[in-house]
Amino acid sequence: MHFFIILLCLFLPVHSAVAAVDIALRGKDPVRLEDVYQQQGVPYIAIEDALSAVGLKGHWNSISHSFKIKTKYGWAEISPASGFMKIAGEYYPLKEKPRFIDGRLRVTDSFILNQLAQLTGRSIYFRNIDPDVDNAPVKQSSNLEKLFAFLLNKKTDKNSSLIRAVAIDPGHGGLDTGVIASTGYKEKQLNLEVAEKLAKQLKMKLGIPIYLSRDGDYELTLEQRLQSASREDVDLWILLHAQAAFSSELSGVTLFIREEEMTQNIPDKEVEEPVESDSLILAKNISSALQESAISVRGIYPSSRLSLGRGNLPTVQIELGFLSNPEELQKLQSSDYQDVIVQALYTGIRRYTQLSKEKIDGVK
């Protein structure tokens, strides 16, 4: 019997060498959390546990591959692939990236004391029971994390946040000229020029295959047009067009997505978080990138014509501008202006694919 007690005593220190923390909103009773991993004094606490300790709620969103936290400022979003917290379209840097350890997304003490305190609007009491414990697994390389994120996405069979290939459809071609400007400049030519420039940017900078539905001035059947977009590895479809109107006043870029993807639920207190469609998220990213480049955007609208093709494929049709507006026509014909548009389209697509820190880099 004594032997067992001695044994027990020998083992006790080992068992107590588990990372644990106390968390509380200032003035409330602290909650002891024991599902904690620690590395070099940095504790990693499961985000759900931390939230419930301070009276917040949130959940994992397998489409955006991020954890969403419900706050009075809107949804705050963190992701294991990003060193930023996104809230209301803005990105805030985190001291440490969230990590997946033992099947749960975890944040550090710095996140709890800074970001969570800000989100609750109250100061937070935090105590690390034993900062010397080191029980976290070796940190994965960022490449492995990316791969993990990618596989996790694929497993959910939802649109991944990393894209494998892009299909671009320059509208019209051949006898089908599209809109013709008063100068004789044809929409089909603009669409192709922009498509080729965009393809080059995406290929060069994202290093993924880009499929154009046409690479010259020829007509396509509907089937041929859909061919590039229906390839198995295509995760994104961009259709390029230009407009004309009776009024020569109208100008600016217009974005279209499928009708059924427009529905953007308003977050309700009791209802499950609304999920924006990938096409809408993509269109929003493109829209804001264009606006940042001082290109006016008329808005994001539903299009019934876009229901063709793979229904779940994130798709945006971009009307590059009005060939009926003399000023805009002149711009659209210039290679410099096309480059500005292409750069903005590329930026929007990249942000959509990465949901990452570029925005804040651009601000710096």
CB atoms within 10 A of CB 224: 13
Applying CB under 5 A, the span of 130-138, 147-155, 164-172, 253-261 interacting with Zn ion comes to 164-172
* Phi, psi for 156 (deg, rounded to 5): -80, -10
Closest-approach residue to Zn ion (CB): 241
Which span sits near Zn ion by CB under 5 A: 20-28, 119-127, 235-243, 247-255? 235-243
We find the least distance from the C-beta atom of residue 225 to Zn ion, in angstroms, to be 12
Please state the closest distance from residue 319 (CB atom) to Zn ion, in A.
Answer: 8
What is the smallest separation between the CB atom of 188 and Zn ion, expressed in angstroms?
8
As measured in angstroms, the least distance from the Cβ of 178 to Zn ion is 4
- Which helix (H) or strand (E) is 300 found in, with range? strand 297-303
Smallest gap from Cβ 194 to Zn ion, in A, equals: 12
Beta carbon nearer to Zn ion, 197 or 241: 241
Site string for Zn ion, 178-207 (x = CB under 5 A): x-----------------------------
Of the pair 228, 243, the CB lying nearest Zn ion is at: 243
Q: How far is the CB of 171 from Zn ion (least distance, A)?
A: 4
Nearer to Zn ion, 58 or 321 (CB): 321
Tokens of 71: 């706050």
Q: Please report, for residues 39, 54, 97, 104, the alpha-carbon distance to residue 113 in angstroms, rounded to integers and kept in the order given.
A: 18, 11, 15, 20
Which 8-state DSSP code applies to residue 183? Answer: T
Residue 241 as a binder of Zn ion (CB under 5 A): the answer is yes
Packing angle between helix 335-354 and helix 326-333, nearest 10 degrees?
80
Please list the residues that pair with 60 across neighbouring strands: 67
Segment near Zn ion (CB under 5 A), from 167-175, 267-275, 295-303, 346-354? 167-175
Which residue, 136 or 341, has its beta carbon nearer to Zn ion? 341
Regarding 170 and contact with Zn ion (CB under 5 A), the answer is: no
Residue 232 near residue 165 (C-beta atoms within 8 A)? no
Q: Does 171 bind Zn ion (CB under 5 A)?
A: yes
- Closest among 343, 273, 285 to 314, alpha carbons compared: 285
CA 309 to chain centre: 23
Q: If you count them, how many residues does the chain have?
A: 364
In the three-class reduction of DSSP (H, G, I as helix; E, B as strand; rest coil), residue 24 is classed as strand
Q: How many amino acids of this chain bind Zn ion (CB under 5 A)?
A: 3
By CB under 5 A, which span of 110-118, 175-183, 282-290, 344-352 interacts with Zn ion? Answer: 175-183
How far apart are CB 172 and Zn ion at their closest, in Å? Answer: 6
**Is 97 a residue that touches Zn ion (CB under 5 A)?**
no
CB of 239 to Zn ion, least distance (A): 9
Long-range CB pairs of 11-17 (<8 Å, 24+ gap) are 17/130, 17/133, 17/135
Q: Which is nearer to Zn ion, 214 or 241 (CB)?
A: 241
The b-or-e profile of 125-138 (16+ CB within 10 A means b, else e) is: bbebbeeebeebee
Amino acid at 145: E
What the block records as the tokens of 210 is 């880009």
Cβ closest to Zn ion, residue 80 vs residue 178? 178
Q: Does 321 bind Zn ion (CB under 5 A)?
A: no
Nearest to 111 by CA among 149, 84, 145: 84
Least distance between Zn ion and beta carbon 282 (Å)? 20
Binding segment toward Zn ion, per CB under 5 A, in 43-51, 90-98, 177-185, 288-296: 177-185
Which of 158-171 are b and which e, b meaning 16 or more Cβ less than 10 Å from the residue's Cβ?
bbbbbbebbbbbbb
Return the number of the residue (76 or 286) whose C-beta is nearest Zn ion.
Answer: 286
Nearer to Zn ion, 134 or 215 (CB): 215
Interface residues with Zn ion (CB under 5 A) are: 171, 178, 241
